[in-house]
């Protein structure tokens, strides 16, 4: 089935003192340049996505305008990709946050696409990575097959690592050797923040064009079982420990917050 044209609102409004970048707009441009076989995902983990969005809209009614979260999100799947999600949210008129996550179906072992973007007036916190689904010390073939090809891109953007490294130890334990994680400050032209966005897009395109495109179904039952156990564990950790979980739960309630985390991760 041909991939339909993907449309969404990616024009992030100006916030207090700055105009944010729009990684979702850049992702959308990549996706609409080529047929990746993406199809809209209507339900995931028992959650009807359209119904969830309606529940969020209802929750927003009557809230203090300074607390309202504005944004867009989209969810897709392919024959190989169980779920790829991306979007953006404006929080308190001062921060734009957006994550892009891509997960393999159970018959595949390619790494999890992990992109994160939290931009404010003074800086942006950014993450670009491919989380491995096996032990890459004991299985160095996995690193060679899926990860080492991104090294030239990684080296191109190591200047972003000059910012303070990601302080979260549990996140670092999930990461690949090629994770870009930093908090670049904004200059007058926001040039380093633009470089951070370019980095995310490069990782996004590489994951689709090189990793997913060349992935083959896993033949070894033991390896498949291990990969899926690790995938489930990574999801569990991300859903329970994501720093955005508690503030979103405080605004939206635990049930809606958990649905949102489940759809993201």
**pLDDT digit string, tens, across residues 16-66:** 889 999 999 999 999 999 999 999 999 999 999 999 999 988 887 766 655
| pLDDT for the residue numbered 91 | 80
Element (H, E) at 88: strand 81-91
Domain containing 175: what range? 23-39+68-219
157 domain residue, yes or no:
yes
Per-residue model confidence (pLDDT) at position 36 = 95
- Asked, for residue 260, whether it belongs to a domain, the answer is no
Contact 224, 149 (CB under 8 A): no
pLDDT for the residue 104: 98
d(CA 75, CA 200): 18
Identify the pLDDT of residue 22.
92
135: domain CATH number is 3.40.1500.20
Residue 229 or residue 59, greater confidence: 229
Position 166 scores a pLDDT of 62
106 part of a folded domain: yes
What distance in Å separates the CA atoms of residue 227 and residue 112, rounded to the nearest whole number?
A: 11
Q: What is the pLDDT of residue 162?
A: 58
From CA 254, how far away is CA 123, in angstroms rounded? 29
Whether residue 245 lies inside any domain: the answer is no
Q: How far, in whole angstroms, is CA 125 from its chain's centroid?
A: 13
pTM of the full structure: 0.93
Number of domains in the chain: 1
**Among 170, 204, 197, which residue's Cα sits nearest to residue 182?**
197
C-beta atoms surrounding 40 within 10 Å: 12
202 found inside a domain: yes
Q: What is the mean pLDDT of the chain?
A: 90
Pick the closest to residue 77 from 51, 48, 39 (CA basis).
39
Task: Answer yes or no: are the C-beta atoms of 121 and 175 closer than 8 Å.
Answer: no
C-beta neighbour count of 101 within 10 angstroms: 20
What is the pLDDT at residue 227?
Answer: 98
pLDDT tens digits, one per residue of 90-137: 887 788 989 999 999 999 999 999 999 999 999 888 999 999 999 999
Render pLDDT for 150-164 as a digit per residue (tens, 0 to 9). 999 999 999 887 555
For residue 224, pLDDT over 60 is answered with yes
| The pLDDT of residue 167 | 62
For residue 45, tell me if it sits in a domain.
no
| Residue 187 banded pLDDT, cuts 50, 70, 90 | confident
pLDDT at 251 over 80: no
pLDDT recorded at residue 65: 58
Question: Has residue 208 been placed in a domain?
Answer: yes
Q: Given this model, what pLDDT does residue 245 score?
A: 79
Report the pLDDT value the prediction gives residue 105, as an integer from 0 to 100. Answer: 98
> Is 158 among the domain residues?
yes
Residue burial 235-264, b: 16+ Cβ < 10 Å; e: rest: beebeeebebbeebbebbeeebbbbbbebb
Given a cut of 90, whether residue 147 has pLDDT beyond it is yes
The rounded distance, in Å, linking the Cα atoms of 220 and 196 is: 38
């Amino acid at each position: 089935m041909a991939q339909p044209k993907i449309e969404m609102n990616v024009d992030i409004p100006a916030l207090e003192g700055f105009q944010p970048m729009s990684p979702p707009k850049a992702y959308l441009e990549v996706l609409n340049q080529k047929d990746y076989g993406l199809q809209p995902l209507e339900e995931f983990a028992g959650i009807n996505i359209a119904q969830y969005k309606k529940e969020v809209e209802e929750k927003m009614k009557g809230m203090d305008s300074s607390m309202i979260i504005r944004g867009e999100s989209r969810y897709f799947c392919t024959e190989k990709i169980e779920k790829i999600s991306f979007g953006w949210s404006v929080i308190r008129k001062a921060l734009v946050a957006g994550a892009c996550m891509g997960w393999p179906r159970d018959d595949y072992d390619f790494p999890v696409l992990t992109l994160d973007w939290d931009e404010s007036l003074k800086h942006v916190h950014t993450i670009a990575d491919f989380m491995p689904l096996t032990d890459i010390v004991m299985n160095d073939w996995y690193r060679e097959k899926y990860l080492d090809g991104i090294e030239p891109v990684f080296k191109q953007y190591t200047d972003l690592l000059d910012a303070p490294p990601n302080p979260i130890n549990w996140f670092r334990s999930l990461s690949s050797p090629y994770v870009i994680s930093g908090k670049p400050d904004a200059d007058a032209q926001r040039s380093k923040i633009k470089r951070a966005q370019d980095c995310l897009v490069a990782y996004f395109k590489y994951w689709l064009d090189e990793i997913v495109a060349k992935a083959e179904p896993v033949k070894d039952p033991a390896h498949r079982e291990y990969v899926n156990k690790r995938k489930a564990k990574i999801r569990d950790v991300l859903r329970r420990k994501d720093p955005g979980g508690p503030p979103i739960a405080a605004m939206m309630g635990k049930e809606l917050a958990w649905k949102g985390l489940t759809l993201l991760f």
